[in-house]
Structure 1
Amino acid sequence: MKILSFDYKKQLHFLSGRQKADLSRHFSKPGVTAMPHQLAVRLGINLPEALAIIAILEAHGLSKNKLLIYHACEPEVPAGAISYGEGFPNLPWKCPHCGETVDSYDELDFDVMAIAQDRIEFI
């Protein structure tokens, strides 16, 4: 198994040694996912810091991030996902859950999910 080491100190200076070790445990296998709210709770950090971790992992090629698309018909279940950085879905957008045609981004919610490409070790 390939292990990618990431020196978090420069860009993620707000992480403690304990948080670094916890992130390394979390990302101990390829394919592991993480969302900002999950990292915030797990590490005891704020949401912008958690989002920074996810964005930096993608920027360094350590994860592939997805923009999750949620619709009001099933607000807890993603109705779609596109690659992070592609922007927002084209409108009108048809919800695969309920078939409704969505004409405004106000009718959608979004979140980001990181998918680790390999095991990541934060050093």
Structure 2
Amino acid sequence: MRNDEIDELGRLAAAYAIERVQPFEDVTGLTSALVRRYLLTFEGSLDDYQASWDASSEDPNGCTWPAWDALGLDVRARYVGLELAQCAVAMLDRVAESETDIHDVMPEAWEIAR
């Protein structure tokens, strides 16, 4: 892919991913921040996206989707965006799980002098 195509793919994927994670967004903006973070490195996974698409292009009903190379940029972006959204939601779940009893270890009062 050319650089301008990769840039457009990233822009479209980000828009789709942000749309997909909106139900999970809260006042902190953490969900969309995670999407933006994952978007920074999506270029390094382009071969992985292609391999994953091609390996899973047949749906349970036997319908086969076109190969990655035959897809338009918008369809590729939806696929990348879906993966970015899934990563963001998975990380939100991990954060939520790790916050249990986070305040159990309170600092010592003298520690504020450090």
Q: Would the TM-score normalized by the shorter structure come out above 0.5?
A: no
Normalized per residue, which structure has more strand? Answer: 1
Structure with bigger gyration radius: 2
TM-score, normalisation: structure 2: 0.31
Normalized per residue, which structure has more helix? Answer: 2
